[in-house]
Structures are given as structure tokens and as C-alpha cells.
């Protein structure tokens, strides 16, 4: 079957997102992005044995000279020290400004390799080859790259758009169920903030998605990428509507940071965070309680946690106080004015938030 191709429309930095089975072998999709004939494949020690050879065979078929950099698996590796090790390897292997970095893996590899590409020798090109559902529907698209800091998620990073996103849906066959569910959290997010009809489709197809039905997955990935590409094209650097993509993330990032990176998967923290955002919206009278229940039910059916860990109110506020969306010390939250209608609330009412967190 031929791949589906979408475009992220960013003028001269526009790029394609190719989605389909067997794309790792498609030299025709890779070749246009490797004119320099040099590449470094950045991957991790779980993904490398599964997919690195297939990708490297294709690069060789395109006449591209390449070497591989393998980082440790997991969210805890998305840190400065790992990035520094990647820079060391790029320098030792003689990577220059035309060497294309290829991020082969989930969001951790994509974010870290993307940030390496944004900063190595003041910026080199890179291609995203996402292999988790979360990365195929979200993190590989849009050019946000980062590493974590002990004090906050994704605190050190840059905007740097890839040359292309090549999402081989066949790689999802080896993804553990828990990781698949984590990806579904971000898929559900798109419905919640922007597309009620898609949310309804997800309710009707959630069992098929969990059973990895090919057609259902292809539709969900395609629709998610369409929605993300639309928002990124409107607001590349998050001056406005792009912040909607952070529904659940202010609470979720606090969970990830406070519980220790990797204890909760990113998608799991976002799921619990979206329920918190929906419940807080209901408490403020902006969302009917029944709609918060409806969102929670869908997340539960996706196999996701919907309750946050027990944390002190002060700890929540401190972590949320460091969120990148905040301005002048006031917490910005993404709320829901209805299902399918996300809203950016700059300066969330603090007293109401404290009493909500305490409850």
C-alpha cells in the first residue's frame, strides 16, 4: 500500500510526514533528504537491535555513508549528559554541518537527537523516524526538541524542524501494550482540544486500536498528524494556539518530574493530567461534569491511569510554577470549554487551583 503523505506547511521549512507500513525500506522516501551523502543514526539500545539495520540498509541503498550512535533506553536518559555523549561521538566520527542526523526511536530519541541537531555546529539537518505510537502521532512532528532537567521536564531545548518525518507503522508491532496506551493518550488529546467528531470515532474504535487493528491505527495516526500539522502551521513557536497541545501537560509534567523521570510514562502522566484539567474546568463551571466523566471513561478504556499520585499541594504548585507556558509568575493552564474546545487560561485562579489540588 502506498504511504499517506501530509505536509507541515511552514514556508521554506515545510516538510512531509509519510505514514505507512514498510517505510523503513523505502529508499525513495529517504533519498531526497540526504543530498550530502552523510548521516548519523541516533537510536537507543532497545530500538537498535529491532530496526537500525533495516534503516541503515536503506541509507546504503541511497548511497549514504552512515554511522550509528546508541543511547541508553528510557526517559531518564533524556538528559544533558547523554546529549554530551552524542556530541562527543559526532565529533569523534567527523560529523560536519551537512551530516544529517536520523532519529530512530520514540519521543526520547526524537527529542534528544533533535536537540543535538539544533545545536551541533550551530545546527544540522535531521530526519525523524518515529517508532512509538506517541512519537508517530505527536513528538516527531512540530520541531520541539529538548532534554529534561532535574528540576523540570523539557526545560532545555530548541525549536528545530526536521527535514521529514517517516513513520513506519509496521514498527508498532513490537511496541509493548503499555507504550501503545501511552500513545493513545496524545491521540485522545487531539479530540479533546479540537475535534469532537474524532473523539466520538475514538470512543467507537478504542478496542480496535488497543487490538492494533491496522486500519484503525492508520486512521488515528493520520488524523492526529493532520491536527498537529494544522496547529503547528498556525503557530510554530507557541505564541498562541499551539499551547492547546499541552492539555494535561502542566499537571502531567509535574507528575513526571516529582515522581522521577520514567516512573510514569509521559502519556500516562498526560492522561491523568487531562482528567485533572477536565475536572478543574468543571469546577470552574466551564465544562459539564458529564463531559469530564466521558473523557475519563475513554482514557480508562484506553488502559490509562486517570488518577494522579498523592502529592503535597506545595509540591504541585512548585513544579507547575516552572512550566514553560507561565508568564510573570502566573500559571497558564489548558482548560476545556467543552469537549473538542480547548482554551488557554493565562493566570489560572490560584485559590481555586490550590483547593482543587488539595482535594
Q: Where on the chain is the footprint of ligand GLY (CB under 6 A)?
A: 138, 142, 144, 242, 245-246
* φ, ψ at 89 (rounded to 5°): -65, -40
- In angstroms, the CA 174 to CA 56 distance is 19
Q: Grid coordinates representing 24?
A: 523503513
Of 128 and 281, which has the nearer Cβ to ligand NAD?
128
Least spacing, CB of residue 246 vs ligand NAD, in Å: 9
Q: Which does 184 bind (CB under 5 to 8 A by kind): ligand GLY, ligand NAD, none?
A: none
DSSP state of 128: E
Of 74 and 200, which has the nearer Cβ to ligand NAD?
74
Reply yes or no on whether 160 is catalytic.
no
CA Rg, the chain, in Å?
20
Reply yes or no on whether 66 is catalytic.
no
Q: Which of residues 41-70 bind ligand NAD (CB under 6 A)?
A: 44, 46-47, 50
CA angle, residues 240, 241, 245, in degrees to nearest 5 = 125
236 binds ligand NAD (CB under 6 A): no
Contact call for residues 145 and 114 (beta carbons, < 8 A): yes
- In angstroms, the CA 23 to CA 75 distance is 26
Q: Which does 107 bind (CB under 5 to 8 A by kind): ligand GLY, ligand NAD, none?
A: ligand NAD
Of 167 and 353, which has the nearer Cβ to ligand NAD?
167
Query: Which of 144, 160, 194, 279 is in the footprint of ligand NAD by CB under 6 A?
Result: 144
* φ, ψ at 44 (rounded to 5°): -125, 180
Q: Which does 281 bind (CB under 5 to 8 A by kind): ligand GLY, ligand NAD, none?
A: none
- In angstroms, the CA 228 to CA 234 distance is 10
Query: Which of 58, 99, 128, 132 is in the footprint of ligand NAD by CB under 6 A?
Result: 132
- 211-230 burial, b at 16+ Cβ within 10 Å, e below that, comes to eeeeebbbbbbbbbbbbbbe
- Sheet strands (E) in 141-189: 144-149, 152-159, 164-168
Q: Which does 179 bind (CB under 5 to 8 A by kind): ligand NAD, ligand GLY, none?
A: ligand NAD
Q: Which does 175 bind (CB under 5 to 8 A by kind): ligand GLY, ligand NAD, none?
A: ligand NAD
Could you say which of 223, 246, 268, 345 is catalytic?
A: 246
Query: Which of 86, 102, 134, 192 is in the footprint of ligand NAD by CB under 6 A?
Result: 134
Reply yes or no on whether 266 is catalytic.
yes
Reply yes or no on whether 242 is catalytic.
yes
- In angstroms, the CA 91 to CA 85 distance is 10
- In angstroms, the CA 205 to CA 230 distance is 23
Reply yes or no on whether 57 is catalytic.
no
- In angstroms, the CA 32 to CA 27 distance is 9
22 binds ligand NAD (CB under 6 A): no
Q: How many helices (H) and strands (E) does the chain have?
A: 13, 11
Reply yes or no on whether 122 is catalytic.
yes
Work out the burial of residue 133: count CB atoms within 10 Å of its CB; fewer than 13 is exposed, 13-18 middle, 19 or more buried: buried
Could you say which of 186, 236, 256, 268 is catalytic?
A: 186
Could you say which of 78, 144, 153, 189 is catalytic?
A: 144
Reply yes or no on whether 97 is catalytic.
no
Q: Which does 171 bind (CB under 5 to 8 A by kind): ligand GLY, ligand NAD, none?
A: ligand NAD
Q: Which does 20 bind (CB under 5 to 8 A by kind): ligand NAD, ligand GLY, none?
A: none
224 binds ligand NAD (CB under 6 A): no
- In angstroms, the CA 333 to CA 343 distance is 8
* Residues labelled as active-site residues: 122, 144, 186, 228, 238, 242, 246, 249, 253, 266
Binding site for ligand NAD (CB under 6 A): 44, 46-47, 50, 73-75, 78, 105-109, 111, 131-132, 134-135, 138-139, 142, 144, 154, 171, 174-175, 179, 182, 266-267
Amino acid at each position: 500500500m502506498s504511504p499517506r503523505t501530509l505536509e507541515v506547511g511552514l514556508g521554506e521549512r515545510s516538510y512531509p510526514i509519510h505514514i505507512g507500513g514498510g517505510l523503513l525500506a523505502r529508499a525513495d522516501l529517504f533519498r531526497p533528504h540526504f543530498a550530502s551523502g552523510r548521516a548519523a543514526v541516533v537510536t537507543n539500545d532497545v530500538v537498535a537491535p529491532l530496526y537500525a539495520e533495516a534503516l541503515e540498509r536503506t541509507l546504503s541503498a541511497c548511497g549514504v555513508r552512515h554511522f550509528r550512535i546508541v543511547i541508553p533506553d528510557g526517559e531518564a536518559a533524556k538528559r544533558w549528559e547523554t546529549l554530551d555523549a552524542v556530541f562527543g561521538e559526532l565529533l569523534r566520527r567527523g560529523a560536519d554541518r551537512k551530516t544529517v542526523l536520523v532519529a530512530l526511536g520514540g519521543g526520547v530519541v526524537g527529542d534528544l537527537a533533535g536537540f543535538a541537531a539544533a545545536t551541533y555546529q550551530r545546527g544540522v539537518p535531521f530526519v525523524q523516524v518515529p517508532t512509538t505510537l506517541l512519537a508517530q502521532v505527536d513528538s516527531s512532528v512540530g520541531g520541539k526538541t529538548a532534554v529534561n532537567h532535574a528540576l523540570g521536564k523539557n526545560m532545555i531545548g530548541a525549536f528545530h524542524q526536521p527535514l521529514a518525518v517517516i513513520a513506519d507503522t509496521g514498527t508498532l508491532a513490537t511496541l509493548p501494550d503499555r507504550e501503545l496506551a501511552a500513545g493513545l493518550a496524545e491521540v485522545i488529546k487531539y479530540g479533546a482540544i479540537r475535534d469532537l467528531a474524532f473523539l466520538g470515532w475514538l470512543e467507537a474504535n478504542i478496542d480496535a486500536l488497543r487490538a492494533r487493528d491496522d486500519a484503525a491505527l492508520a486512521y488515528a495516526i493520520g488524523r492526529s498528524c493532520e491536527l498537529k500539522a494544522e496547529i503547528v502551521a498556525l503557530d510554530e513557536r507557541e505564541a498562541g494556539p499551539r499551547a492547546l497541545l499541552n492539555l494535561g501537560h502542566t499537571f502531567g509534567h509535574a507528575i513526571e518530574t516529582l515522581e522521577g523521570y520514567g516512573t510514569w510514562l509521559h502519556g500516562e502522566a498526560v492522561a491523568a493530567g487531562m482528567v485533572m484539567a477536565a475536572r478543574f474546568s468543571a469546577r470552574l463551571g466551564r465544562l459539564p461534569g458529564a463531559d469530564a466523566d466521558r473523557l475519563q471513561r475513554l482514557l480508562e478504556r484506553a488502559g490509562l491511569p486517570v488518577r494522579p499520585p498523592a502529592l503535597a499541594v506545595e509540591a504541585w504548585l512548585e513544579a507547575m510554577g516552572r512550566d514553560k507556558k507561565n508568564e510573570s509568575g502566573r500559571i497558564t493552564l489548558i482548560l476545556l470549554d467543552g469537549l473538542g474546545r480547548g482554551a488557554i487560561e493565562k493566570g489560572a485562579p490560584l485559590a481555586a487551583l490550590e483547593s482543587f489540588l488539595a482535594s
